[in-house]
């Protein structure tokens, strides 16, 4: 290989069955290759309005404050948490995996007093425990949790958790990075005040954008803050003025124009298929995977009752060299799967069946390759 850095970069063709990014449809990539226009061009403003409507549909919300933040899911986390908390505010963070831990880190950097509520990794957040924690400390203003924990493959009951928070008047911040597009997300019905997602999981768009939504109550709360939001770029009241439709639009930053073309196409594909059809497709691929796992006498990490269809944690069979298998899958078979994180490192494989990846034929391709690799 005599590559020079001035040679064009050509990525290998991989089948992405890890925890994200997920496979991107050629139509989405094509959309991103369209000519760049100005971010205040009326045509672009029209695109942003359509994106807002599509995101409202995906979140099941009427929230006016629904838009994308420029940056991956973690930037959405920063935006949501840092707009809500002020120094000294108490926030209950339910943690059952990597991303709940990350939320704690974000909140504490924002000066909040984090009240942790920990659950075993591989188990869901329990609404009853959230209720009890809030009853024990009346100063807690916010409850934050991860709807779909990508580090373990667990779905938590968002409706019950939000109801527990409502009982005590706490506002709810939800991570929906892996849930949107894969399982139902109904933030208005559930009473979730603030939500963020990402584009590279079940929406099958390249990473780099974070759709967010704030309830009118959350916006009111932000407007009444005593202190300014820590980050200028992520101050939602300013970003909203940029996304606010014709007339209200003021220059704030330059939108990632071509990335938003891609998101428009990716969301259009999801909504033309229909959210319910997409959820059923995820479920079908997931059940096929579980059947293949059982056929081989292997086990899933997570109990059936709260398993995510889009993220499947499989216990690595005894005596198998985890890293070697993943390397061979990637380099010999062009298939990416995910490793275990934290306490689950070396213990599980994480198979993402997300967005375009959620297809029975991809599961078959994966298991055919896995069988070959394991035979050696
Ligand atoms: C992937 C993920 C994130 C972070 O998103 P990035 O795009 O990697 O920054 C946050 N929360 C959950 C649940 C995720 O799966």
Q: Is the CB of 76 under 6 A from ligand 1?
A: no
**pLDDT mean over 42-64:** 96
94 pLDDT exceeds 60? yes
Domain residue ranges of the chain, discontinuous segments joined by +:
15-21+275-375, 27-270
Which fold does the domain 15-21+275-375 belong to in CATH? 3.90.1150
- Residue whose Cα lies nearest atom 6 of ligand 1: it is 73
pLDDT at 241: 81
Look at domain 27-270 and name its CATH class: alpha beta
Distances (CA, A) of 159 to 100, 164, 204, 355: 18, 9, 25, 23
Of the given ranges (100-109, 235-244, 330-339), which has the lowest mean pLDDT?
Answer: 235-244
- Residue whose Cα lies nearest atom 14 of ligand 1: it is 177
306 pLDDT exceeds 60? yes
pLDDT at 238: 84
What is the percent of the chain with per-residue pLDDT over 90, rounded to a whole number? 94
* Residue that the structure tokens 């292997």 belong to: 298
Nearest to 183 by CA among 59, 18, 52: 59
**pLDDT mean over 334-354:** 97
Q: Which residues contact 127 (CB under 8 A, 6 or more apart)?
A: 157, 160, 161, 163, 164
247 pLDDT exceeds 60? no
245 pLDDT exceeds 70? no
User: How confident is residue 242, by pLDDT bands cut at 50, 70 and 90?
Assistant: confident
10 pLDDT exceeds 80? yes
Pick from 18, 20, 103, 342 the residue to mutate for probing ligand 1's pocket: most ligand atoms within 8 Å of its CB.
Answer: 20
For residue range 186-202, list pLDDT tens digits in order.
Answer: 999 999 999 999 999 99
249 pLDDT exceeds 80? no
Distances (CA, A) of 147 to 116, 257, 341, 363: 16, 29, 18, 24
pLDDT at 248: 66
54 pLDDT exceeds 70? yes
Q: Is the CB of 178 under 6 A from ligand 1?
A: yes
User: How confident is residue 71, by pLDDT bands cut at 50, 70 and 90?
Assistant: very high
Phi, psi (5° rounding) for residue 138?
-70, -10
119 pLDDT exceeds 60? yes
Q: Is the CB of 177 under 6 A from ligand 1?
A: yes
Cα 262 to averaged position of ligand 1 atoms, centre (Å) = 19
244 pLDDT exceeds 90? no
Q: Is the CB of 196 under 6 A from ligand 1?
A: no
Specify the pTM.
Answer: 0.97
């Amino acid at each position: 290989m005599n590559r020079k850095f001035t040679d064009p970069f050509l990525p290998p063709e991989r089948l992405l069955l890890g925890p994200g990014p997920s496979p991107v449809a050629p139509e989405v990539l094509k959309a991103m290759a369209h000519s760049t226009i100005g971010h205040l061009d009326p045509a672009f403003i029209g695109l942003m309005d359509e994106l807002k409507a599509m995101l409202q549909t995906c979140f099941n919300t009427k929230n006016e404050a629904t838009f994308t933040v420029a940056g991956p899911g973690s930037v959405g986390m920063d935006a949501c948490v840092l707009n809500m908390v002020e120094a000294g505010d108490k926030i209950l963070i339910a943690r059952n995996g990597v991303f709940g831990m990350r939320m704690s880190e974000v909140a504490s950097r924002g000066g909040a007093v984090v009240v942790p509520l920990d659950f075993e990794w591989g188990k869901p957040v329990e609404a009853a425990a959230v209720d009890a924690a809030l009853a024990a400390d009346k100063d807690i203003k916010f409850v934050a949790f991860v709807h779909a924990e990508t580090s373990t493959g667990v779905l938590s009951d968002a409706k019950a958790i939000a109801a527990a928070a409502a009982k005590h008047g706490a506002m709810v911040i939800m991570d929906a990075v892996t849930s949107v597009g894969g399982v139902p997300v109904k933030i208005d019905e559930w009473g979730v005040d603030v939500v963020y997602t990402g584009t590279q999981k079940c929406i099958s768009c390249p990473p780099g954008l974070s759709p967010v939504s704030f309830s009118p109550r959350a916006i009111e709360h932000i407007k009444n803050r005593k202190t300014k939001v820590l980050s200028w770029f992520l101050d939602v009241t300013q970003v909203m003025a940029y996304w606010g439709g014709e007339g209200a639009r003021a220059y704030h930053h330059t939108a990632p124009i071509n990335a938003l073309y891609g998101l428009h196409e990716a969301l259009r594909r999801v909504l033309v298929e229909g959210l319910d059809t997409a959820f059923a497709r995820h479920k079908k691929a997931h059940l096929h995977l579980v059947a293949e796992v059982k056929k081989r006498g292997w086990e899933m990490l997570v109990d059936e009752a709260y398993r995510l269809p889009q993220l499947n944690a499989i216990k690595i069979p005894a005596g198998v060299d985890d890293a070697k298998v993943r390397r061979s899958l990637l380099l010999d078979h062009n298939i990416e799967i995910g490793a275990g994180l934290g306490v689950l490192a070396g213990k599980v494989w994480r198979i993402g069946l997300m967005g375009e990846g959620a297809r029975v034929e991809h599961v078959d391709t994966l298991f055919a390759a896995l069988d070959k690799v394991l035979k050696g």
